[in-house]
Structure 1
Amino acid sequence: METPQEQVVMTPKCKTANSTTLIIERRAVNKTNDKMHVAGGEHTGIIINKETANENGESSPAQLTLEFRVFLVSAQTGKHTPESRTLRFWFRDHPEVKDMEPATIAQDFFKELVSPQEFPRDYVGFIKKIMKLMQHSYKSISKLEVQLTQLQESAVPERPLSADENSLGNVVLLTRDKVIEIIESSYPNPVTIQDIAKEHGWDEEEVAQYMAELQSSNVVKAMDHGAYTRQQSQDTQVIIVKQMPTMVSSKQPTIAIITAQYCEKLAVDAMIENKETFVRYTTVGEYL
């Protein structure tokens, strides 16, 4: 008798007026019926259960839980509704876990899930991305419970004004030093000319002139998607990656040094020897 292959199966767990809970788990499926949707093509190996899960007895508690919040925007009214999204993780014995703690795996999963470049803008895309990550990249995760809970409507938090903005009545003068300050405060994330101009109400052509001058002086360097970042004299020690590499526990850092300003970062770098720096660049703003 042929052993059924392991699939990634999504099953509704419960639904209320303002929340939805789904179970996404890795398990072998003996047979399918008209109450299951079996994906094909590039999504082969994914099954969607149409029936609500029928759990006989309480399952073991989740080994780890992550929660974050997003703002949903109504296309009709433009109103913002905050939503809490909770991820509960269960892990299984797998070679991937031997050199990594479950917390590290969950953190890497979360970072990839909410990557600003590829963050899903709707529910279908969000759930599909979770299933694809479990299917291809995070095989040590045996089950994920996803709970989506809409909260009461509230205003989107506003960015605090800087000292310069307050002193000039929200008007910031465009200067070479100000452009450098913006680039350094965004490091390691690059910024585009369009973003800088839009944020401060500046003319894009004037910002582009300053950026070209800074680039020719080797103060900044061009990145992908028309973005720029601070040029460093030690660029040979900076490795640009799309995803952070997996590190064995023996090489995990034990001390974190957090600096508020770019100049402080340079001072710390000058004091550390035998360092290896990996930078995962983004091309859009921080995720809320």
Structure 2
Amino acid sequence: MTPKGKTSNSTTIMIERRKMVTQDGNVHVGGGQHSGIIVNKDITSDGIEDTAAQLQLEFKVFLINAQTDKHTQESRQLRFWFRNSIPDKERMRSAQEFFKELVAPLEFPRDYVGFIKKIMKMMQHKYKTVSKVEIELKQLEESDKPPTRPMEDQKPELTEEKVLEMIESSYPNPITVNDMAKRASSTTEEVEIFISNLTEKGQIKALAPGCYTRVVQNETDLKVVRQMPTIQSNKQPTIAIITAHYSEKLAVDTMIENQETFVRYTTVGKLLIVL
């Protein structure tokens, strides 16, 4: 590891695979479990190849100063160089895996020393295709308050259209009021208001207490059964058409003649539809 540059608000560090020819008082040599790791004490650019990085990733973190309780946003850039024999596709895959392991939430280092050490250990023991990594740590802005998460304070408004959309997306399976409330981050009371309106309009119906499904228009030959009946061999389906949205299901229905629909309703609230 070599310190490469430092300004009032940024630090650049290079971690690379190099053969150490001499060892003098300007380096720290790791021992024990850190054997093989060498840290240069002084900032230097001697012997460092100055070529453009082959891949670059950037992410941001928020730091808290334990003494001042200030919150600082910091940009962290990772620049990758790989062995010459590694193809581009493998370079991208390796950089992505490197980044995912580095920022894994449960193992993300909480301080600078731990962050740099983790990168060195990852290069030493796992990512042998990476020849060097340059890390630039740059402080962006300081605040007295912690950062807000995107959409943290914005609760999506529940509407009748959204309730109907949830019911249609579950069709032919029914959906409970509780499940709709969870999906919408709302209360069951709010959902039930729209359920009442949709039921009065004839757009939905209850299959069980608190459990609703879409009313399919112009589908007169629909049979709700607990067990699928035996279908004659000459009526066995030969193809299957799978749709992702309710509107697509209606479009497919318009192209099918002499259709016969069975909906199997079980006590656990699951439906199976067969055309």
| TM-score normalised according to structure 2 size | 0.54
Shift of 1:55: 3.4
Q: Which amino acid aligns with 2:97?
A: D
What SS is found at the alignment partner of 1:131? helix
| Structure 1 counterpart of 2:156 | 163
Q: Contact 2:156 / 2:184 at 8 angstroms: preserved in 1? A: no
Shift of 1:99: 9.3
Q: Contact 1:13 / 1:22 at 8 angstroms: preserved in 2? A: yes
Q: Which amino acid aligns with 1:114?
A: V
| Pairing 1:139–2:128 present | yes
| Pairing 1:50–2:41 present | yes
| Structure 2 counterpart of 1:30 | 21
| Pairing 1:125–2:114 present | yes
Shift of 1:160: 3.7
Distance 1:112 1:182 in 2: 33
Distance 2:2 2:181 in 1: 50
Higher relative contact order (CA 8 A, sep 6+): 1
| Structure 1 counterpart of 2:67 | 76
Distance 2:156 2:75 in 1: 33
Please, which moves more after superposition, 85-94 or 47-56?
47-56
Distance 1:37 1:179 in 2: 59
| Pairing 1:86–2:77 present | yes
Shift of 1:119: 0.1
Q: 1:99 to 1:146 in 2, by over 3 A?
A: closer
Distance 2:32 2:62 in 1: 33
Q: Contact 1:36 / 1:47 at 8 angstroms: preserved in 2? A: yes
Shift of 1:163: 2.9
Shift of 1:32: 1.1
- How many residue pairs get matched? 166
Identity among equivalent pairs (%) = 54
Shift of 1:157: 2.4
Shift of 1:13: 0.6
1:159-183: per-residue Cα shift (whole Å, max 9, x none)? 2432379xxxxxxxxx964796499
Shift of 1:77: 2.9
Listed as ranges, the gaps of 5+ residues in structure 1 are 1-9, 166-174, 184-262, 265-288
Q: 1:157 to 1:180 in 2, by over 3 A?
A: closer
| TM-score normalised according to structure 1 size | 0.52
Distance 2:106 2:68 in 1: 26
